[in-house]
Amino acid sequence: MVSDASSFCPWCGRNIQDEDSSEEPLKAPKGFKFHARCDWGCGGGVMYPMRFCPWCGRAQSWRYDHFQNACPHCDRGVDDWMATCPWCGEDATGRDLIPRALRRARRLLIVARLRDWHYRVVLRPGVSGVAPRAPKVIELDRRYVTGKRRRDEISWSMLTGLLLHELGHSFLYHHWAWTRTGRFRRAFGEVRKAYRVADEHWVDFERRRIATTLTDFVSAYAATHPQEDFAETFRFYVARRGRLRELFAEFGRKRKGVRVYEKFLVLHDFVRGLRGWK
C-alpha cells in the first residue's frame, strides 16, 4: 500500500510519480504514520518498516535494538508477536524451519491427553528457555537449526526432546498456582528458590530411558533445581505417552525411590483434572 502523494514506492523503491504525487515531501501523509525522517535529508517522513523513502526513493536503514528479538531468516529486528518478518517476509518465529519437531511434540501432547494451552514456539539467538512473565512464549536457540551444517546443530529427536523440556517449563508457569499446593511441594520441592543453574550444562534430551545414577530424580539435570526437575518429569511423561505402567516398571528395575513415583502421579492426576476425567 502506498500514498497517492508518494513519488516512490516505499517498499520496492520504484518510481510511481503521477499527477497526484506531492511536489514537496510530506511528514505524514493520510493513512500513514511518521516514525522517522529520511536518512538522506530530503525532508520527508518515513514509516517503519519502509525500505525506501517515498519522496526521494533512497534506501532507508532502521535500528533493531528496540525490537524484542531477531528474525531467524534475515537476522533483523522482530517482536515475539509478529507472525511475518517486516523485512524479508518470512516466518518471524522460525517455526517453518522445525516442522518435524513441532509435529512430533504436538502428537505426543495429544496422545498424553494434554490440552493445548496456546503456547508459541520461536527460534531466537541465545539460550533456550521460557520467561515467567511470558509463559506461553517458548524460545529455542536458533543455532541448533539455522545456518550451515556444523557441530552446534542437533538431530530432530534431540530437538523434540528439548522442545518437550521447554514445554514443561511453559506448562508449569502457565499453572503457577498449582505449585503452592502441598502435594506438589512434597513431590518437587519449592520451585520459587533462587535459580543458579549454569546455561552451558549439557543435557541428553534425546534420551527416553530413565537415568540410574540418582535415586530420586529421572536425570542428573533434574537434580539441579525443582523447576528443572518438573520440566524433566514432564518431558519423560509426554515422551512415554503418559503410560505410567511402563514407567513404573522401569522405576522398579532401576530401583528408583518413592518420590519419583509420586512426581509422576502428581503430574498425571493434575492432567486428568484439567480434562475433567472421572
Whether 213 has a pLDDT exceeding 90, the answer reads no
* 190: confidence class by pLDDT, cuts 50, 70, 90: very high
* 277: confidence class by pLDDT, cuts 50, 70, 90: very low
* 276: confidence class by pLDDT, cuts 50, 70, 90: low
84 bridge partner residues: 91
pLDDT for the residue numbered 150:
54
Alpha helices in 54-181 (DSSP H): 99-111, 156-174
Rounded Cα gap, residues 255 and 216, in angstroms: 10
Query: pLDDT tens for residues 128-173?
Result: 889 888 899 999 988 888 655 555 567 888 899 999 999 999 999 9
More confident position, 262 or 204: 262
Query: pLDDT tens for residues 62-103?
Result: 776 678 888 888 888 888 888 898 888 899 999 999 999 999
Whether 40 has a pLDDT exceeding 70, the answer reads yes
Whether 257 has a pLDDT exceeding 80, the answer reads yes
Among 205, 234, 233, residue whose Cα is nearest residue 144? 205
Q: What is the mean pLDDT of residues 203-220?
A: 82
Which grid cell sits at 128?
533456550
Which contiguous run of DSSP H or E holds residue 227?
Answer: helix 226-239
Whether 174 contacts 120, CB under 8 Å? no
pLDDT for the residue numbered 278:
42
Rounded Cα gap, residues 173 and 167, in angstroms: 10
* 202: confidence class by pLDDT, cuts 50, 70, 90: low
Residues of 126-157 as b/e, b for ≥16 C-beta within 10 angstroms? eebbbeeeebebbbbbbebbbeeeeeeebeeb
Range of lowest pLDDT (51-55, 113-117, 210-214, 248-252): 210-214
Q: What is the rounded average pLDDT for all residues in the chain?
A: 85
In single-letter form, the type of residue at position 5 comes to: A
Angle (CA) 208-157-264 rounded to 5° is 35
More confident position, 39 or 17: 39
Number of alpha carbons in the 13 Å side-chain half-sphere of residue 153: 10
